Structure 1
Amino acid sequence: MATVHTPPSTYILRDLHDVTVPESVSWWPQTIGWKLLALVVLLALVYWSYKALRHWWNNRYRSEALTALNELNPQDNDTGNRLFSILKIVLVYLDSGNARLFDDAFLDKLDELSPDQPAFNDQTAKQWQQSLVNPNNKLNPEQHAELIKRAQVWLKQHRLRVKTQEGRV
């Protein structure tokens, strides 16, 4: 048989009482000011997240094109054609009206979108465009590497020019 425990009955322990545990503190704000501040912070966080996501979505073509450029080998004979194809795809993505561009118009459009640093207005760029149609006019690997580097800089720094309804930029 189990014996039932009884509290001590000595006079020393007779006046002892259990310690009362205080109520737990709520983490929910008790005043309206803190609730409004939490709402403002939450709205700012949602807005910042939306802007960051929209920026990433609008610029994902840049990272895809940079990945394609990094895969180019300046030693290959087909590098000029592949570089043109990558930049042409980017221009068509930005504006479908750029699909018809070729030669000087293509180079001018690249420089137009990056007016601070025009990189495609020299003899190497013109020779690159000529090599696309004339197989006898080939670029050397150093020129291919230079054009790839310029294209990478252009992809990172170009800005879109948005036309207003009057047609002005």
Structure 2
Amino acid sequence: MTRGSLLPKQMPSPAPQAPSPEAQELLAQLRDIQEPAAINWWPPAPGWWMLAALILAGLVAAALWWRQRRKKAERNRYRVEAAALLAAIEIEQTTAVAEINEILKRVAVTTYSRTECGNLTGTAWIEFLKKSAPLECPADAQQALRENLYRGTCDPDKNRALQEYAILWVKQHGQPSTSHSQHPGGEAAHV
């Protein structure tokens, strides 16, 4: 046996048949496959519009918050400057009480009005200070204002108590307290 005889005999393939007229008509109706159009980025979906609105609202809110904070800092700048001036006073000097009192008067006249507190002295001035801030004036500070202001004497302990009270008063005056409501219509009523 020869090698070729082992292989099965191949059958001749049938000749292709021509499609029927109905099939030809159906084939004529076929078109090429069309890919869908690319998705455009504009206009965005409603979710993107909502996200953009939220971001815009957040930016507006942040800008308004920053502006309000800056205005508040500007309104209270005098407090920071007065506290720095009070802290810089040398309490061992005989003029320390007069310097502290002068800064307190300037802040009080700026915040309230010259007619309300500009001419107060002694006990009336101390009572005004007590009423205009929610803190208690120490006895040493009161004594320094009553006695050492015009005498020119120096008591460092009393001066220190007055200086500490004055710094606290500058930072806290005009805040609500139980015995006092803020004075309307001062020279700087917006403060």
- TM-score, normalised on structure 1? 0.69
State the one-letter code of the partner of 1:46: A
Query: For residues 78 and 163 of structure 1, what CA distance do their matches in structure 2 show?
Result: 30
| Preserved contact between residue 103 and residue 126 of structure 1 (Cα < 8 Å) | no
Q: In the alignment, is residue 159 of structure 1 matched against residue 174 of structure 2? A: yes
Give unpaired runs (5+ residues) of structure 1.
1-24
State the one-letter code of the partner of 1:111: K
Give unpaired runs (5+ residues) of structure 2.
1-40, 176-180, 186-191
- 1:133 aligned partner: 150
1:102-151 CA distances to partner (integer Å, 9 max, x unpaired)? 21121111111223x2215x36414422332344xx34111111111111
- Structure number with higher relative contact order (C-alpha < 8 Å, ≥ 6 residues apart): 2
Instruction: Please report how far the alpha carbon of residue 76 of structure 1 lies from its aligned counterpart in structure 2 after TM superposition.
Output: 0.4
- 1:8 aligned partner: none
Q: In the alignment, is residue 111 of structure 1 matched against residue 130 of structure 2? A: yes
- TM-score, normalised on structure 2? 0.62
| Preserved contact between residue 79 and residue 170 of structure 2 (Cα < 8 Å) | yes
Instruction: Please report how far the alpha carbon of residue 162 of structure 1 lies from its aligned counterpart in structure 2 after TM superposition.
Output: 3.5
Aligned match for 2:91, one of 49, 52, 74: 74
Aligned-pair identity (%)? 23
1:27-75 CA distances to partner (integer Å, 9 max, x unpaired)? xx86210121012101111111121011101111111111111111111
Spell out structure 1 runs of 4+ moving beyond 3 A.
160-165
Map 1:5-16 to 2 at 5 A: none
Look up the SS of the partner of 1:100 in the other structure: coil
Specify the structure having the higher radius of gyration (Cα): 2
Q: CA RMSD in A?
A: 2.5
Query: For residues 184 and 156 of structure 2, what CA distance do their matches in structure 1 show?
Result: 42
State the one-letter code of the partner of 1:157: Q
Query: For residues 119 and 105 of structure 1, what CA distance do their matches in structure 2 show?
Result: 13
Q: In the alignment, is residue 63 of structure 1 matched against residue 116 of structure 2? A: no
Q: In the alignment, is residue 43 of structure 1 matched against residue 54 of structure 2? A: no
Q: In the alignment, is residue 142 of structure 1 matched against residue 152 of structure 2? A: no
Length, aligned pairs only: 135
Query: For residues 183 and 84 of structure 2, what CA distance do their matches in structure 1 show?
Result: 30
Query: For residues 99 and 144 of structure 2, what CA distance do their matches in structure 1 show?
Result: 15
State the one-letter code of the partner of 2:171: K
Q: 1:164 to 1:98 in 2, by over 3 A?
A: closer
Query: For residues 67 and 39 of structure 1, what CA distance do their matches in structure 2 show?
Result: 40
